[in-house]
Amino acid sequence: MTEYAHPDRLVSTDWLVEHLDDPAVRVIEVDEDTSAYQQGHIRNALGWDWFEDLHAKPRRDYVDQEGFAALLQAAGVGPETTVVFYGGNNNWFAAYAYWLARYLGFEQVKLLDGGRKKWELEQRELVTDVPTFSPTDLSIDGPVQSNLRVFRDDVLSRLDAATFVDVRSPQEYRGEALAPPHLPQEQAQVPGHIPGAKNIPWVQAANEDGSFRSADELEALYGGEGVTSDRHTIAYCRIGERSAHTWFVLHELLGYQRVANYDGSWTEYGSLVGVPVEL
């Protein structure tokens, strides 16, 4: 049985239980709706609001290295601290935060396999107490990993040269919907998909409990659709959170080196004038 390329990028629920009181581990729940965190969360976990905390408002972009470092400082993260992200929707926005951390050059980060869903299914402890930690003066010394992110012009220049993976639902891919039913707030101007994109919904990479499928199963899933490590691969969805989940699978679990997340995704591409679109 094939092992993940980077198994150390994941932690299990059992591992986390053993490290909840470890001062060198900081657990952070990330979501676009923090009401679940307020109702109950993993003990000693902090809560980040994906939109309020990670975005450089009023622009549609993320905080830079300095802004991300400030968030980590406030969370009490020091040079020797390992950050473990988790969240709902099988780690949608936790994977987003993980990808952003790696993009901004912060390496001491892991993802809880299965996220909040698996933790709840196992009936593990949830608390409402919000922890506090002494702030640090952490700085991010690593360079921005620009190869992990693509922008509009990168996408347009690679339409015939890269493998595009549309990780949205088949209904969104076919142009029958613009957004998942429970997330209608940010939509493109037209429906459809990038020409030639493979439709491999993010959820196919997950087990019923939210954990990732085995390396062999993932290789078969993506390889069967022609998504291979020898070509540059670009993952996208609607706003980049589901595609961050797929980026994690391809880059961190399968070890594909030439894979990037297009976080502008269909909300941007589907609003551009004059670009090719397929239904």
Give me the active site residues, please.
237
- The type of residue at 77 is V
Collapsing DSSP to helix, strand or coil, 268 comes out as helix
Q: What is the side-by-side order of every strand in the sheet holding 198-199?
A: 198-199, 163-166, 233-236, 259-261
Give bridge partners of residue 111 from the DSSP assignment: 10, 85
The residues near 71 (Cβ < 8 Å, ≥ 6 apart) are 48, 53, 54, 63
Sign, CA dihedral 115-119-121-122, equals: positive
Assess contact for 268 and 189: CB atoms under 8 A.
no
- Prior bond to 58 cis, omega within 30? yes
Cα–Cα distance, 13 to 118 (Å, whole number): 8
Cα–Cα distance, 135 to 132 (Å, whole number): 9
